[in-house]
Amino acid sequence: TTLPVNARPSTKRTLTCACSVVNTTLSSEKLDINSDGTLVLIGIGSSHENPPWVSLNGTFCSL
């Protein structure tokens, strides 16, 4: 699923999001919001960096 066309940024935006410290050594993740409407979390998915949740609370970017 992607963002609706009218909610997509004109260029890629990068945000920092808080995440659970369970099952990871990180306390935040990078979120890329691409101009095609896709959202990509950077820094998770490996066997040792897999937090159970990432918070989008308070995140904001201009379109």
Other C-beta atoms closer than 10 Å to the C-beta of 51 total 21
Residue 11, pLDDT score: 96
Find the radius of gyration of the CA atoms of the chain: 13
Mean pLDDT for all residues in the chain = 87
Q: How far apart are CA 39 and CA 29, in angstroms?
A: 12
pLDDT at 3: 94
pLDDT-based confidence at residue 60 (cuts at 50, 70, 90): confident
Q: What would the two tokens of residue 62 be? A: 């201009």
Mean pLDDT over 1-29 rounds to 89
Asked if the model's pLDDT at residue 48 lies above 80, the reply is: no
Q: What is the DSSP letter of 48?
A: T
